[in-house]
Structure 1
């Protein structure tokens, strides 16, 4: 398994992984998530942006996973401690490659990028019932720091 910075030639493979991610999210939370098509232009903008990086996991010529990370800054409010941090926008691995280390290797690449950019910490959001992803993040040192709550109105 090879982890590398994504190039334009990997966009098609990343989009395939995104479609699988969207389908899985729709199965986990069908009231809020739906299968959909990835936005290739958004992906290209993230790849070309100076404040983001996209990494791919490759097995031979196939893209089997990816991670997208972006530099962010805590809002300038007196009540918040100032931090520059890395936000893991997305991480996904194709089902047949899960449990083989791709997720951990992608997280390692994201962490190395964050350290190289002198960022204070890594942050991410995960669906509350995505037990596999929650296990991956916990095993890699991520801790819960907040909780989003929702109440249906209709």
Structure 2
């Protein structure tokens, strides 16, 4: 793999990946983003401007990753410290090459670009529900330094207070285990997409998100106590830790019982008894299929999907992600 700066010959491939990123952004924030195709002149302007560029990841002479970057300088004002930084507007890796270190190589290339211009910081913005991206950037050394907030003028009020508290506790349990955090955030992301497609009621969304955050919470303790992360041990320890966390943050006792039931049986297909459990099952499987041998056998994979996925949204996601290019 080679990392280099874009040229005019790369415009078509840059547009292809940026259009894919736009589609993903619309899925995550449909009330903010809309489908729009990138124009040649927009890409050309960025390439030709001395303070902007595209950093590309190249494999077999094909563009497999793009970083859209800008060199910026804060003005010397009474309330601002004068500074120079690189703003990462967009970063995307072709879905066929994800989880292979391409993103990290792009970040390294962006760092080199910025350091040559004496940049002191590297900044970016992330959609709050894009948990896998947040986990990736945190692993690369990025930290939150400012939050953008919005108030919706609506009759419907909904707080994700307990979801955010649960995320914080999950990170404490998995401190030192970044891959486990990444897995959890990816499962959460899948669960939220399924909830969107299935029109899950607002009042049920936080509960299912909490289930997704805590589903593997017992894996580290299972390894420590039993020397194994096999399903029975993970389920046994998971429900204990989940209960402790939820009691500590003051979650509804009746809801705690249901969370613990799902966490304590989340590897047991026969125990699925509701849409909340089913969504967790499908979200977890969407992530776990990435490492299954079934991926090498189209018919076997189709059988696994048809047996396990009951929601229309989840099954559609599985077909698109794992069968479309088979």
User: Which runs of 5 or more structure 1 residues have no equivalent in the other structure?
Assistant: none
Instruction: Give structure 1 regions of 4+ aligned residues with deviation exceeding 6 angstroms.
Output: none
Q: 2:18 and 2:135 mapped to 1: Cα distance?
A: 20
**Displacement of 1:70:** 0.8
Matches within 5 A, 1:5-16: 5-16=5-16
SS at the partner of 1:92?
A: strand
Partner of 1:133: 133
Q: 2:40 and 2:131 mapped to 1: Cα distance?
A: 28
SS at the partner of 1:126?
A: coil
**Displacement of 1:40:** 2.0
Q: 2:84 and 2:126 mapped to 1: Cα distance?
A: 21
**Displacement of 1:59:** 1.8
**Displacement of 1:147:** 0.5
CA deviations 1:12-31 (Å, max 9, x no partner) are 00111011101111111111
Partner of 2:51: 51
Partner of 1:153: 153
Q: 2:48 and 2:57 mapped to 1: Cα distance?
A: 19
SS at the partner of 2:13?
A: helix
Q: 2:69 and 2:130 mapped to 1: Cα distance?
A: 20
SS at the partner of 2:108?
A: helix
Structure with greater proportional strand content:
1
Partner of 2:37: 37
**Displacement of 1:98:** 1.2
Structure with greater proportional helix content:
2
SS at the partner of 1:76?
A: coil
Partner of 2:123: 123
**Displacement of 1:7:** 0.8
Partner of 2:80: 80
SS at the partner of 1:54?
A: strand
Which has the larger Rg? 2
**Displacement of 1:75:** 3.1
**Displacement of 1:152:** 2.1
Partner of 2:142: 142
CA-based RMSD of the aligned residues comes to: 1.2
Partner of 2:71: 71
**Displacement of 1:55:** 1.0
CA deviations 1:100-154 (Å, max 9, x no partner) are 1111111100001111111111111111111121111111100000101112236
Q: 1:152 and 1:43 mapped to 2: Cα distance?
A: 34
Q: 1:39 and 1:82 mapped to 2: Cα distance?
A: 34
TM-score normalised to structure 2 length: 0.46
Q: 2:122 and 2:129 mapped to 1: Cα distance?
A: 21
Q: 1:71 and 1:31 mapped to 2: Cα distance?
A: 29
